[in-house]
Amino acid sequence: MAQTFNVLRLSGDGVGPEVVAEACAVLEAAGAKADVTFEFSDGLIGGSAIDAHGKPLSDEDLQQAKDADAIFLGAVGGPKWDHLPKETRPEAGLLGLRKELGLFANLRPVKVFDALASASPLKDDIVRGADLMVVRELTGGLYFGQPSKRTQDETGRSAVDTLPYHESEIERIVELAFKLARQRRNKVTSVDKANVLNSSGLWREIATEVAAKYDDVEFEHALVDSCAMSLISRPTSFDVMVMENLFGDILSDEAAVLAGSLGMLPSASLNGKPPTRPGTEAPLFGMYEPVHGSAPDIAGQGKANPVGAILSASMMLRFSFGLRELSDVIDRAVGDTLDAGIRTGDIALAGTPPVSTVELGAAIRERI
Ligand code: IPM
Ligand code: MG
């Protein structure tokens, strides 16, 4: 049966447009195999939206995002907009989108492709076989807690941020982590700082309660500081790791080192609701983006690694459109291309010239 999906493209800043173009071309190539078509529309986010509308996300683009079947995002930010106040910076557009769309669950899978085990600065035998998923709470905690402000009085300058969680916010993200674990290797690690923070004490309590409902899934708690160490000393011992917003921001960048390059990592941000459109088997509404950010130092040079974006497109097929097999086809094509030694500069083999963003995208498409 022919299917069509409406995807809002928010290419954003820096290398965003370059990698989004490759991901969309791969989607079209994969779709052609299965009578699936994608209708892309384009909106602005981040610095490019500030330049056009004076703010990092316009009301029209937010509405388009709400109406789409899924959102595909490139990256936001760059030195041109760094001087702006926090509320009007490019990052505020991304945070606003996450909050407005209720995208509370951020999935960041980190899989070490065999061909890249030696591309990591960590020892090959430590990273080989690592395959984990950071599940980051995305709409609560330190990123959104109030008060969050700076003040000044006669004694000097002060600042405060707040880390609030309601049990319902913890419960829904931990539940999702357990459901994911059942589709993977049946293990959940809940990460917190329960020896110091009240918010973590509650997190641990709720995680324990949820775990009791999933006695077929292996479960452990880990303190975030020692977990940061275990993540690079014994990464293969983890499957699904679930945590607070800021902990997830930090540990997911750390985990990227395992995969050889931040350019390799995809992500999905889901709101846990079935899609509004009837007739699709799609499990969850979501926004998909590579983890790497706008990389202004290499923007426009054709050097960016498109794999993170392409794997994000694959996640979109899997989680929002219910097209698991097609998602597998893309993942396999990426693996085959890397095995063939075709790589951008960030993961290139010593002595082998790197290919460009467009060349890597084309090589992956050829293998679909
Ligand atoms: C990420 C990024 C964002 C975050 C920035 C760009 C606001 O670092 O998605 O990890 O901190 O969440
Ligand atoms: Mg980050």
CB 93 within 8 A of CB 45: yes
Number of domains the chain is built from? 2
Please work out whether the CB of residue 131 comes within 6 Å of at least one atom of ligand 1: no
Any idea what DSSP says for residue 341? T
Indicate if 238 and 132 belong to the same structural domain: yes
Question: Per-residue pLDDT tens for 23-75?
Answer: 999 999 999 999 999 999 999 999 999 999 999 999 999 999 999 999 999 99
* Residue 203 sits in the same domain as residue 224: yes
Chosen domain end from 231, 259, 287? 259
**Are residue 130 and residue 251 in the same domain, yes or no?**
yes
Q: What pLDDT shows up at residue 272? A: 75
Assess if residue 50 is contained within a domain. yes
Are 128 and 240 in the same domain? Answer: yes
Exposure pattern of 284-320 as b/e (b: 16+ CB <10 Å)?
bbbbbbbbbbbbbebbeeebbbbbbbbbbbbbbbbbb
Q: Is the per-residue pLDDT at 192 higher than 50?
A: yes
Q: Is residue 238 part of a domain?
A: yes
Specify if 357 maps to a domain. yes
Check whether residue 196 and residue 270 sit in a common domain: no
Predicted confidence (pLDDT) at residue 273 exceeds the cutoff of 90:
no
Please tell me whether residues 88 and 130 are part of one structural domain: no
- Residue 312 belongs to a domain: yes
- Predicted pLDDT of residue 127: 97
CA of 367 to the centre of ligand 1 (A): 32
Mutate to test the pocket of ligand 1, among 84, 91, 262 (most ligand atoms within 8 A of CB): 91
Does the CB atom of residue 94 touch ligand 1 within 6 A?
A: yes
Q: Residue 149 is part of which domain span?
A: 121-259
My answer on whether 281 and 248 are in the same domain is no
Write the CATH number for 29. Answer: 3.40.718.10
Ligand 1: which of 15, 87, 94 to mutate, judged by most atoms within 8 Å of the beta carbon? 94
- CB 262 less than 6 A from any atom of ligand 1: no
Residue 116 placed within a domain? no
pLDDT of residue 282: 47
List Cα–Cα distances, 100 to 26, 61, 157, 280, in angstroms: 29, 12, 32, 23
Last residue of a domain, one of 236, 259, 282: 259
Has residue 275 got a pLDDT over 60? no
Whether 289 lines ligand 1, by a CB cut-off of 6 Å, is no
Distance between CA atoms of residues 4 and 42, nearest Å: 17
What is the rounded distance in angstroms from the CA atom of residue 46 to the CA atom of residue 71?
15
Region for residue 38 given its phi and psi (left: phi exceeds 0; alpha: psi -120 to 50; beta: otherwise): beta
Q: Which amino acid is at 197?
A: L
| Cβ atoms of residues 10 and 48 within 8 Å | no
Q: What is the pTM of this model?
A: 0.95
Residues 133 and 215 in one domain: yes
Q: Give yes or no: 165 in active site.
A: no
| Residue 233 and residue 131 share a domain | yes
310 and 366 in a common domain: yes
Nearest CA to ligand 1 atom 10: 249
Residues 236 and 287 in one domain: no
More confident residue, 351 or 43: 43
Q: Average pLDDT of 243-267? A: 95
Cα 192 to averaged position of ligand 2 atoms, centre (Å): 18
Q: Does the residue 268 lie in any domain?
A: yes
Q: Which pLDDT belongs to residue 350? A: 84
- Please state, rounded to an integer, the average pLDDT across all residues of the chain: 94
- Pick from 15, 134, 249, 287 the residue to mutate for probing ligand 1's pocket: most ligand atoms within 8 Å of its CB: 249
Q: Is residue 241 assigned to a domain? A: yes
* pLDDT above 70 as % of the chain: 97
Question: Of 259, 288, 320, which closes a domain?
Answer: 259
217 shares a domain with 287: no
Ligand 1 atom having least distance to the Cα of 76: 6
